[in-house]
C-alpha cells in the first residue's frame, strides 16, 4: 500500500485589526459592494461578511427584542358549513383522478397513498 505524505503545512492567513477595520470601512462606503471590496483585497467575501458582523457587535443584533403582534382570526369564508377534507387530484396522461378524504382520517389517507404510489 502506497501512502503519500507531504511536508506542506496549511496555515491560515492572519490579518491585523487595522486591516480588518479598513476593509469594513470600505464596505460601508455608499455604493460599495462587499464582494468587490473583498476581491480587491484578495479575500473571500464570506470572511469580510464575518468581520462586518463582528464590527457591528452583539448589541446590534439584540438591540430590539422580538415582539409578537396579536392577530385575530375570524371565521373561515363559508361559515360552519365549510368541509374539512383532504383533496388530492392526480393526473397521469389523459386520466385525472380526484380523491376527497375526510381530514379526520389523515393517517388512513397516508397509508392509502403509500400503497397507491408503490
Residue with the bigger pLDDT between 10 and 112: it is 112
How much is the mean pLDDT over the chain?
A: 83
Report how far residue 97's alpha carbon sits from residue 68's, in angstroms, rounded to the nearest whole number: 43
- Provide mean pLDDT across the span 82-100: 85
The pLDDT value given to residue 8? 81
Q: Which of 12, 24, 101 lies closest to 56, judged by CA?
A: 24
Residue 23 lies in a domain: yes
The pLDDT value given to residue 117? 78
Residue 1 lies in a domain: no
Residue 101 lies in a domain: yes
Number of domains in the chain: 2
Residue 6 lies in a domain: no
At residue 58's C-alpha, the angle toward residues 52 and 64, to 5°, is: 110
Give the helix, strand, coil percentages of the chain, each rounded to 5. 45, 15, 40
Expressed as residue numbers, the domain containing 94 is 84-116
- Provide mean pLDDT across the span 82-88: 81
In the chain, what percentage of residues exceed pLDDT 70? 85
Residue 79 lies in a domain: no
What is the per-residue pLDDT across 29-79, written as a single tens digit (0 to 9) for each? 988 899 999 999 999 999 999 999 888 877 655 566 777 888 888 876 665
Residue 93 lies in a domain: yes
Residue 36 lies in a domain: yes
Residue 25 lies in a domain: yes
The pLDDT value given to residue 62? 57
Same domain membership, residue 88 and residue 57: no
Amino acid at each position: 500500500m502506497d501512502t503519500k505524505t507531504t511536508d506542506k503545512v496549511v496555515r491560515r492567513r492572519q490579518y491585523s485589526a487595522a486591516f480588518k477595520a479598513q476593509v469594513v470601512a470600505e464596505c460601508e462606503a455608499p455604493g460599495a459592494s462587499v464582494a468587490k471590496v473583498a476581491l480587491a483585497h484578495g479575500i473571500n467575501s464570506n470572511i469580510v461578511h464575518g468581520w462586518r458582523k463582528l464590527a457591528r457587535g452583539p448589541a446590534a443584533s439584540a438591540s430590539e427584542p422580538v415582539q409578537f403582534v396579536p392577530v385575530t382570526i375570524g371565521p373561515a369564508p363559508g361559515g360552519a358549513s365549510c368541509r374539512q377534507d383532504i383533496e388530492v387530484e392526480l393526473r397521469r396522461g389523459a386520466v385525472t383522478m380526484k380523491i376527497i378524504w375526510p381530514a379526520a382520517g389523515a393517517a388512513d389517507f397516508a397509508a392509502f397513498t403509500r400503497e397507491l404510489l408503490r
